[in-house]
Amino acid sequence: MSAFVGLPGSITLVGAGKMGAALLQGWAAQGLSGEGVAIVEPQASREVTALAAARGFRLNPPTRAPAEALVLAIKPQMLDAVAPSLVADAGPDTLVLSILAGKRVADLVARLPAAKMIVRAMPNTPASIGRGISGAFACPAVDDGRRGLASALLGAVGEVEWIESEALIDAVTAVSGSGPAYVFHFVECLTKAGVEAGLPEEIAARLARATVAGAGELLRQSGDLSPATLRENVTSPGGTTAAALAVLMAEDGLAPLLARAVAAARRRAEELSG
Ligand SMILES: NC(=O)C1=CN([C@@H]2O[C@H](COP(=O)(O)OP(=O)(O)OC[C@H]3O[C@@H](n4cnc5c(N)ncnc54)[C@H](O)[C@@H]3O)[C@@H](O)[C@H]2O)C=CC1
Ligand SMILES: O=C(O)[C@@H]1CCC=N1
């Protein structure tokens, strides 16, 4: 059982792929250990298998008692196939924490009929280094205690923003859930642009990666400065940055493109519901 105050004493994690494993690592880093943790994962990675062995977690136990928290981290498309095996895990007192993109509280209740204490959350992949951010929505039945457990489970891998409208989870998904991919694609594009400007590819790749990582860290450490101020700090009047920003901030520049991308992600989340 966990000695850590804050995390649930017993957890069943369903799906220990990229996000499930990131959560598991975060909980372990908080001191979670013992047989109260059951992991259901038909294709456990070496890392997950080793972590389970090191921490005394039960990996694919033949039977399991209902845990305080049931954490769902399978793909949304797998829910129909997996849910029947979880009905007994999701009682009226169980915190059901789902990170499935698109799947609504109603979709979960339709498959786990006794579940009442449902929290939907949307973390992101920086969770794997403890630097994620999650948006979370608790359905009205969720009491303060369960909300606290959900905060602890998500807080183990980064920041948590509670939102009061379930519909906004799709927007969170489109901004911060998918967001790391946009940033990584920006690095790919900056690398390509550097090569087109004459740089050897390896150097362009190192410059682009370090620029985004450094700018991200500067942003993080400059909480009192807005992104606009940080941008202005780079931009000499009549200089090189101003020339580039005239392109990026044009009417058909980055803002409308990103707005279209976020809208597409949001629409896709809606399509995944049901
Ligand atoms: N990858 C991301 O950036 C984010 C993903 N999500 C959500 O997290 C969920 C998981 O996504 P990923 O970790 O990226 O996917 P993933 O494919 O890495 O992990 C899913 C895991 O479920 C396992 N699985 C398959 N059948 C199963 C079964 N019957 N029982 C238990 N586990 C089973 C798979 O073997 C796999 O390891 C998705 O619902 C996704 O919408 C949420 C936030 C960010
Ligand atoms: O692409 C997806 O559907 C998931 C949800 C947010 C990030 N990855």
Choose the residue to mutate in 14, 18, 79 for probing ligand 1, maximizing ligand atoms within 8 Å of C-beta: 18
Is 192 annotated in a binding site? The answer is no
Are 89 and 34 members of one domain? Answer: yes
Domain boundary among 113, 136, 169: 169
Are 35 and 163 members of one domain? Answer: yes
Are 193 and 108 members of one domain? Answer: no
For ligand 2, atom 7: residue with the closest CA: 178
Nearest to 66, CA basis, from 39, 91, 83: 91
Residue 4 has pLDDT above 50, yes or no: no
Residue 165 has pLDDT above 50, yes or no: yes
Are 159 and 59 members of one domain? Answer: yes
Strands 95-98, 69-72: pairing kind: parallel
Are 200 and 161 members of one domain? Answer: no
Q: Is residue 5 one of the residues assigned to a domain?
A: no
Domain with residue 103: its CATH number is: 3.40.50.720
Q: Is residue 32 one of the residues assigned to a domain?
A: yes
Domain with residue 212: its CATH number is: 1.10.3730.10
Residue 274 structure tokens: 């049901």
Alpha-carbon distance 9 to 164, whole Å?
A: 27
State which amino acid sits at residue 132.
G
ipTM of the complex: 0.99
Give the Å distances, CA to CA, from 25 to 51, 65, 89, 110, 136: 8, 22, 22, 30, 20
Are 185 and 164 members of one domain? Answer: no
CA 226 from centre of chain:
24
Give the Å distances, CA to CA, from 116 to 105, 106, 122, 141: 9, 10, 19, 6
Are 156 and 210 members of one domain? Answer: no
3-state secondary structure 192-255: HHHHHCCCCHHHHHHHHHHHHHHHHHHHHHCCCCCHHHHHHHHCCCCCHHHHHHHHHCCCCCHH
Domain boundary among 118, 136, 169: 169
Residue 191 structure tokens: 């690398």
Residue 271 has pLDDT above 70, yes or no: yes
For 17-40, how does the pLDDT look when each residue is reduced to its tens digit (9 = 90+)?
999 999 999 999 999 999 999 999
Residue 3 has pLDDT above 60, yes or no: no
Are 28 and 52 members of one domain? Answer: yes
Q: What is the mean pLDDT of residues 96-105?
A: 98
Residue where the block lists tokens 């039977």: 63
Q: Which domain covers residue 204, as residue numbers?
A: 179-272
What pLDDT is stored for residue 8 in this prediction?
A: 95
Are 200 and 116 members of one domain? Answer: no
Ligand showing the shortest atom-to-Cα distance for residue 262: 2
Ligand 2 atom at shortest distance from the alpha carbon of 268: 3
Is 60 annotated in a binding site? The answer is yes
According to DSSP H, which parts of 85-197 are helical?
105-111, 144-155, 168-172, 179-196
Domain boundary among 169, 199, 234: 169
What pLDDT is stored for residue 156 in this prediction?
A: 98
Number of domains in the chain: 2
Q: What is the mean pLDDT of residues 264-273?
A: 97
What pLDDT is stored for residue 215 in this prediction?
A: 98
Residue where the block lists tokens 């850590």: 4
Strand ranges across the sheet with 158-162: 58-59, 37-40, 11-14, 69-72, 95-98, 117-122, 132-138, 158-162
Q: Is residue 1 one of the residues assigned to a domain?
A: no
